[in-house]
Amino acid sequence: AVDLLLADQFGRDVRGEGLMIAIELPTEAQARQVIDDLRHRGLIAETNLLAEHVVRLSPPLTVTEDECRQALTLLQTTLTTIT
Say if residues 73 and 48 touch (Cβ distance below 8 Å): no
Per-residue pLDDT for 8 more than 70? no
Per-residue pLDDT for 44 more than 90? yes
pTM of the model: 0.81
pLDDT in tens, 16-36: 888 888 888 889 999 999 999
pLDDT in tens, 47-69: 988 899 999 999 999 999 999 88
> DSSP code of 26?
S
List of E strands, the chain: 14-17, 20-24, 46-48, 51-57
